[in-house]
Amino acid sequence: MAKEELVRFGILGAGSIALFRHALELSQNPYAKLVAVYDPIKSRAEYLSSLYHVPVVDSEEAIINNKNIDAVCVCTPNSEHARLTIACLKAGKDVLCEKPMATNLEDASKMILTAEKLGRKLMIGHNQCLMSPHLKAKKLLQEGVIGKVMTFRTAFGHGGPETWSQDKGPHTWFFKKEKAYVGCMGDLGVHKCYLIPWLLGTDIVEAASFVATMDKKNEKGKPITVDDNAVCILKMSDGVLGQLTASWTYYGPEDNITTIYGTEGRMILGANPDYPVEVYLKNGEVQKYKTGAVATNTVQVKSGIPDLFVDCILDDIKPPFDGIKGYKALAAVVACLESNDTGKICKVHNELMPVKVDAAPAAKKAAPAKKAAPAKKAAPAKKAAPAKKAAPAKKAAPAKKTAKKAAAKKTAKKK
C-alpha cells in the first residue's frame, strides 16, 4: 500500500472501553499505530493521549476525513455508533464498532450494507467469544462432549455501569434512553445474545421476557429511563430452549455464568474461578479445565478484539465477529423488549431490514496492503491469551522500514 504496512487507527470516544481495551491493546500491537483520538470532553482525550501518546484532535471530522487513518474504533455512547460508523465507512475507513452496534435494526442494517457496498470491514466489539472459557466451551461443544444440547441458562450481571463509565455517577449516559436506547439488556444481555448463538451455532428465533427498572436512580433521584433487570426465555432455531438474565443490580461479584445442558451431561462456564470450564457427564465422569479467566469490569483481561481486527485488515479477511452476528444479537434484544411491552412471545427479526443505503464513498481510498501470501490464520484462541498486566506502554511509532520488516516477519511466521 501507499501507506506504511501497519494499520493506522483513529479512536472516537476516549471513555473506559477505549482506555482499558482499544487504545491499550492497539498500543501493544506492532502492526497498529494510533494516529488520533477525539472526545467532545477534551480532558478525556488528553488523558488517553498521556497514556498512549496519541495526538488529540478537535472534531469527529478530523478523524473521519483524515487520509492518514485506515481504521477507526467507535467507542462512543450507543446513540452515536451508527452515524459515526457509516461516516467512517463512507470516508474509506474500516470500522471496529462497540456493542450494541446500533440503537435500532434499521441503523444496524445500514451499517452492514454500507460496509458491504463499499468493500470495507465492519467488526463489532463482542469480546465475550474470545474469552478463554468460552473458546474452550465452543471446542468441547463441537466435539459433542455433552451430547446434543437441549437447554441453557446464562446470566450477565454486575452492580451497574455508573462506576465503570468515565461519566461516573447517576448522570451517566448509560442510564439515559436517548443515549443508550436500552439498559442492562443492551449493555450485558446483548453480549449473551451474541455468545449463545456463537457457542451453539444456531440463531435465537423467539423471545419472551420481563424487562424492568427496579433500583437505579438518575441524578434527580428518579428511576432511570432504561431497564436495570431483564429475565428472558429464548428459543433457538433448532428448538434448544434457554433462559437469559441481565442485571445492573447484581451487587457484589460479577455473574457471568453459563450452563449448557446436553443429552450426555452439562457444562458450566465461569462459575469456578479455578476451573472456569467444568463438565459433568451422565456417566459420572467429571472434567475440569483451567483456562484463562472471564474478564470483569474490575479485573480486565486482554480482549484480543483489536488484534483480531488488525489481522483481518492486514490479511484482508472478513472479520469473524461481523455486523450480521451483531445485528442478530441486537435483534434478540429488540424482541425481548417487544415481548415485555406486548406481553407476547416475539419472533426475532434475524433478516436485515429493507433499508436504502447511500453508499457513495466520500473519498477514494487505496486498497489495503496485500501480504506476500494468503496467511493461514492462527486460531483465535492464541490471540485471546490473557494479557500480562503490562502497564500502558509508550510505543514509539515504528519507522516505515521497521514496520515493513515487522510485516514481513509476521508473514514469514504465518506461512
Ligand X SMILES: NC(=O)c1ccc[n+]([C@@H]2O[C@H](COP(=O)([O-])OP(=O)(O)OC[C@H]3O[C@@H](n4cnc5c(N)ncnc54)[C@H](O)[C@@H]3O)[C@@H](O)[C@H]2O)c1
By CB under 6 A, tell whether 253 contacts ligand X.
no
By CB under 6 A, tell whether 254 contacts ligand X.
no
Phi and psi at residue 254, in whole multiples of 5°? -65, 145
Out of 80, 107, 307, 311, the residue judged to bind ligand X by CB under 6 A = 80
Q: Point out the residue whose Cβ comes nearest to ligand X.
A: 15
Q: In the structure grid, which three cell numbers stand for residue 171, read together?
A: 448522570
What's the CA gap between 415 and 377, in Å, rounded? 9
- Name the one range near ligand X by CB under 6 A: 8-16, 23-31, 133-141, 347-355: 8-16
Out of 4, 5, 25, 39, the residue judged to bind ligand X by CB under 6 A = 39
Q: In the structure grid, which three cell numbers stand for residue 207, read together?
A: 423471545
373 close to 415: Cβ distance less than 8 angstroms: yes
Q: How many residues bind ligand X (CB under 6 A)?
A: 28
How many CA atoms, within 13 angstroms, populate the side-chain half-sphere of residue 214?
15
By CB under 6 A, tell whether 98 contacts ligand X.
yes
- Name the one range near ligand X by CB under 6 A: 13-21, 135-143, 234-242, 343-351: 13-21
Out of 187, 228, 254, 311, the residue judged to bind ligand X by CB under 6 A = 187
| Secondary structure (DSSP) of 66-97 | -TT--EEEE-S-GGGHHHHHHHHHHTT-EEEE
By CB under 6 A, tell whether 340 contacts ligand X.
no
Q: Which is nearer to ligand X, 22 or 235 (CB)?
A: 22
What's the CA gap between 305 and 209, in Å, rounded? 30
Q: Which residue in 141, 146, 176 sits closest to 161, CA to CA?
A: 176
Q: Which is nearer to ligand X, 85 or 259 (CB)?
A: 85
Out of 127, 132, 154, 291, the residue judged to bind ligand X by CB under 6 A = 127
Smallest separation, CB 106 to ligand X (Å): 18
Q: Which residue in 142, 232, 141 sits closest to 185, CA to CA?
A: 232
150 close to 262: Cβ distance less than 8 angstroms: yes
Out of 49, 76, 213, 256, the residue judged to bind ligand X by CB under 6 A = 76
Smallest separation, CB 280 to ligand X (Å): 29
What's the CA gap between 49 and 54, in Å, rounded? 5
Out of 7, 12, 185, 240, the residue judged to bind ligand X by CB under 6 A = 12
What's the CA gap between 330 and 194, in Å, rounded? 8
Out of 7, 9, 28, 38, the residue judged to bind ligand X by CB under 6 A = 38
- Name the one range near ligand X by CB under 6 A: 160-168, 199-207, 347-355, 404-412: 160-168
Q: Which is nearer to ligand X, 325 or 410 (CB)?
A: 325
Smallest separation, CB 217 to ligand X (Å): 18
What's the CA gap between 276 and 158, in Å, rounded? 18
Out of 107, 167, 228, 307, the residue judged to bind ligand X by CB under 6 A = 167
> Which residue type is seen at 344?
K
What's the CA gap between 338 and 377, in Å, rounded? 40
Smallest separation, CB 175 to ligand X (Å): 11
Q: In the structure grid, which three cell numbers stand for residue 347, read together?
A: 419472533
Out of 10, 77, 265, 323, the residue judged to bind ligand X by CB under 6 A = 77
Q: Which residue in 305, 295, 300 sits closest to 29, CA to CA?
A: 305
Residues whose CB falls within 8 Å of the CB of residue 294, separated by 6 or more in sequence, listed in order: 131, 133, 134, 256, 269, 270, 276, 301
Residue ranges binding ligand X (CB under 6 A): 12-18, 38-41, 44, 60, 75-78, 80, 98-99, 125, 127, 164-167, 173, 187
